[in-house]
Every structure is written in C-alpha cells, then in structure tokens.
Amino acid sequence: MTSLVILRDRQAVTTSLQVAEAFDKKHKDVLEAIDNKIQSAEISAHYQNMFVEGEYKDSRSRSQRMYYMNRDGFSFIAFGFTGSKADEFKLKYIRSFNKMEEHIKKQQLKLSDSPREKLRLMFEFQEEVADRVEAVESDVEYLKDNQLLTEPDYRTISTMVRNKIRIICTQQHLNSKAKTELFKDLNSSIKRITGAAARNRIKAKQFDEVVKFINNWMPSTATMTIIDQMDLLEDE
C-alpha cells in the first residue's frame, strides 16, 4: 500500500483510492459516498472544503476520477466503516495525519527567517499538537462506544435466540405459529433494551448485557395470551 497520508498544497491529505484499498472497498463505492455528501443540499459548502476532485491513470492509462480529502473528510467517510480491521486502519490514518501535519509545521519553522515568526509558529504548532491529541483520544473513545458486534459475537447472540425459543417451545409443547410469536417478542425486547434497530446494529459493549438478558428472558403475558388464543382457534 502507498503512503496513507500525503502532502498536497502544503496540506496533509489522503485519497479515495487509498481509502478504498485500505478498507477493502470498491473505489466506485467510496466515490459514491463522497459524492452523496458533497451533493447534500444543506451543508454542501462545508463538505466541499473537505474534498477536492482529482484524476489518476488506471492500468490502461485512462484518466479516472478520484478525490483528495483532508482529515475531516476522511473522518466523515471512514468512520462509517466497522469491524476490528477497519478500526485498526482508522487509527493508522489518524496517526499518519498527525505525523504529516507535524512535518509540515517543522518545515514552516525551518523556512521562517524571523525569530518572532518562528516563535509564533512554535506556539501555534504546540497548540495544534495538543488539539490533535485531544481529537485522537476523542476519536478512539467514539470508536469504542460505537463499535458494532463482531461477526462471531453476532452469531453467538443469534444462536442463543434460536436455542432459547427452541427450549421454550419444547417445554411447553408449542407449535411453529407460537414459535413465530416468541421470536417477535424476544427480538422486540432485545431492540428495546439496546436501542438497536436490528440485532446486527447492537454495539459490542452491549454483548454481555444482551447475553444475560436472553438467558433470563421469558415471553411476555401478552405473547402467551396470543399463543393461547391461537390454540383455541385451532381447537374449534
């Protein structure tokens, strides 16, 4: 892989090509994600400060679209990518941005002839370094708080849900229609306690809580009443 972050017009940037390669995405999908943000009518001007369109030559020497993006642009695009591998690359990019920006500041100090200007740049550099450290810590905390379930943990919860329903159906001699109602009840309960729209949107930090909940879960009175009513209808 080429350098994660490069210097362009005296600014630390990366490219849509590098992001696509690092996160194992199709380049056209990364382009589409950026296009959608830039075309957002409400804050398009803000996004345009983060992305600059450019070109590259493909393997057949044809000119193709790409984007340069600064740290903010990268954050808006990449922080939607999930998984442990994605998190690893996010943190690598953040460190690379910091390193390149530090290099730019040092070069500015070397090129400055005025002692006063050097002093001003030095203070400015120190302030920016402090801000970047705080930003990195904030980014890391955000990733920890919003990381979704890993695939193995998701499979574990799905298996636990199926087993829980199977055990209840076996113990109470319930049919397939009852099983459907139990699934609806349990899935709805998991959504309520996690705030997730679906099981695959549960956060990693909620895994233990969900496991404990499933182990202790019993169908609601309303669900059991519906099941009893279905049994009565079948007996008529």
Q: By CB neighbour count within 10 A (0-12 exposed, 13-18 middle, 19+ buried), where does 128 fall?
A: middle
Tens of pLDDT, residue by residue over 138-180, are: 655 655 676 778 888 889 999 999 999 999 999 999 888 899 9
Spatial separation of the C-alpha atoms in residues 209 and 8, rounded to whole Å: 47
Specify whether 198 is located in the same domain as 123: no
Q: What is the pLDDT of residues 52-101, one digit of tens each?
A: 889 998 888 899 999 988 877 777 777 666 655 555 656 666 666 667 66
Cβ-contact 1, 21 below 8 angstroms: yes
For residue 139, give the amino acid letter.
D
Q: Are residues 12 and 112 located together in one domain of the fold?
A: yes
What pTM, to 2 d.p., does this model score?
Answer: 0.45
On whether both 115 and 209 belong to a single domain, the answer is: no
Does 135 share its domain with 155? no
Beta-ladder partners of 53: 67
Same-domain status, 80 and 129: yes
* Same domain flag for 75 and 16: yes
Residues 138 and 176 occupy one common structural domain: no
129 & 171 share domain:
no
> 170 and 193: one domain?
yes
Question: In this structure, are 123 and 190 located in the same domain?
Answer: no
The domain in which residue 178 lies consists of 151-235
